[in-house]
Structure 1
Amino acid sequence: MSRPLRLVIFDVDGTLVDSQGDILAAMRSAFDRAGEPAPVREVILGIVGLSLDVAVARLAPQLPGDVHARIVAWYKEAYMGLRAETGVQASSPLYPHALETLKALHAVPETLLGVATGKSARGLDKLLEGHGLRSYFVTRQVADHHPSKPHPSMLRAALAETGVAPENAVMVGDTSFDMDMAQAAGIAGIGVSWGYHRPEALGAAREIVQDFRALPEALARIWG
């Protein structure tokens, strides 16, 4: 009897790659251009994973919508400039053992890989191309086409694209937004301890792993 198709969906920033340096620098630059004090590091990292317009509105609820829109545009400009200056691999390095784990999962015929991220399609494409990962992911869900996390739209689309049943899918992420999104979509969530939200914030996670190399065993436990 053949095994069913499985789908492992990854968040990007804080899960696959550590892009906090450029995120912090770009957000501080954008707030500076708006003539506003930038939020502190922990607050900025706390909104990573949300779509950018939602994130900026949450960071500066006292500002009007037109200023939010300008901060979003300035953030994108600064972020792209930083990435162009240093290159993707230096700007957003993969976390330890991420690549070998992706390769091992990708080598299993019944296992499909996907992405669900608050990044734009353009930003995700640049990142995957820079790390040579584009061919690994059969479904790529981005902020351009969906409501912000934790709305389950991204995961529902990934399931529909791949034909995988919810009980055979897992969302891997570092934030409460990822875990709440997974729960809303009816799929299991695996939290990672190395990202931008503290592990104790990942209350909706089925499991939390401390190292990328522990992911295959966590998947095996969830899927039996």
Structure 2
Amino acid sequence: MKAILFDCDGTIADSAGLICTIMDRSFEAHGLTPPAWESTRAIIGLSLDKAILALRPSLGEADVAALVAGYRHQYRAERARPDFVEHLFPGMRDLVLELSAQDEVFVGMVTGKSRRGVAAITAAHGLTDAFTIIRTADDCPSKPHPAMVLECCAQVGLAPADAIVVGDTTFDMEMARTAGSAALGVAWGSHHREQLERSGAQAVATDVPELRQALAAFIEGGWGIRGTGLDTAPTTAKTWS
């Protein structure tokens, strides 16, 4: 048995523009200059409080809490619009459903989203039953802490070495490597290939067919990256302190 643990925003969901827009509104509502979109994209994947503090390290605890609450209010208001659609990257819904139908695979999600946010996006795209194991910002410390991966593996009775994390950020790759799991980056999200490789990605898929091929090799009994045609990066061991 293997566990495939997907990040959500930037990996499955094409949500960067929405996140940047909502962050702008939240900062403006509190009389603050919004961060550059490039800066906001760089922190996608962190838990919301950690992300806001990374954007404005000078903020106090009360200000961070107010911005978190404001962001969530703005996000829920946007979701409530009749014309709201949170898009997935083309091919990702089909891939998740294909994997969830395989008896030898547990499909999971490890995300900085809230439980409420995960429930909304999975329901909207018919993926509620596709994920056997889910850990969110409501359940665990923020990435790159390995707790999300370790708890998912413990829930289904697998060793971390039998899991692979698929994500678009350095936080995902560092989380995977620290947990002792395989790390597979995707090139269509928030962080560049070079960043993913430096943070421990053993390969970076440039499109969904490459991702499908790499995951098939992992499921069949090993990483087998050199047989997939994907670029490889050296494995870097990390220790959480």
Same-fold call, TM > 0.5?
yes
The aligned length equals 218
Which residue matches 2:96?
A: 102
> Any unmatched runs of 5+ in structure 1?
none
Partner SS state of residue 107, structure 2: strand
Q: 1:214 and 2:175 equivalent?
A: no
What displacement does 1:86 show? 4.9
Tell me what 1:64 maps to: 60
2:128 counterpart (119, 131, 134): 134
Runs of 4+ in 1 over 3 A off after TM superposition: none
- Give 1:87 deviation, angstroms: 5.5
Q: Is the 8 A contact 1:101 1:213 kept in 2?
A: no
Which has the higher mean CA deviation after the structures are superposed, 210-219 or 27-36?
Answer: 210-219
1:174 alignment partner, one of 168, 172, 181: 168
User: 2:239 aligns to what?
Assistant: none
Q: How far is the alpha carbon of 1:219 from its aligned partner? A: 2.3
Which segment is superposed worse, 97-106 or 27-36? 97-106
Q: CA RMSD in A?
A: 1.3
Looking at both structures, which has the greater relative contact order when contacts are Cα pairs under 8 Å and sequence separation is at least 6? Answer: 1
Deviation at 1:178? 0.1
Say which structure is richer in helix: 1
Q: Structure 1 residue 217: deviation in Å?
A: 1.7
Does the aligned pair in 1 maintain the 2:97–2:127 contact within 8 Å?
Answer: no
DSSP 3-state at the match of 1:77? helix
**Aligned mates of 2:59, 2:130 — CA distance in 1:** 40
Q: In the TM superposition, what are the counterparts of 1:25-104 in structure 2 within 5 Å?
A: 25-86=21-82, 90=85, 92-104=86-98
1:146 to partner: Cα distance: 0.8
How has the CA–CA distance of structure 1 residues 116 and 81 changed in structure 2, closer, same or farther, with 3 Å as cutoff?
same
Q: Distance in 2 between matches of 1:36 and 1:118?
A: 23
Q: What is the Cα deviation at residue 205 of structure 1?
A: 0.6
CA distance in 1, matches of 2:2, 2:195: 27
- Per-residue deviation, 1:25: 1.3
**CA apart distance, 1:216:** 2.7
- Select 1:18's aligned residue among 10, 14, 17: 14
1:152 aligns with 2:146: yes
- Counterpart secondary structure, 2:121: helix
The answer to whether the 8 Å contact 1:22/1:82 transfers is no
Match in the other structure for 2:232: none
Equivalent-residue separation in structure 2 for 1:216 and 1:25 (angstroms): 31
Q: Distance in 1 between matches of 2:158 and 2:83?
A: 35
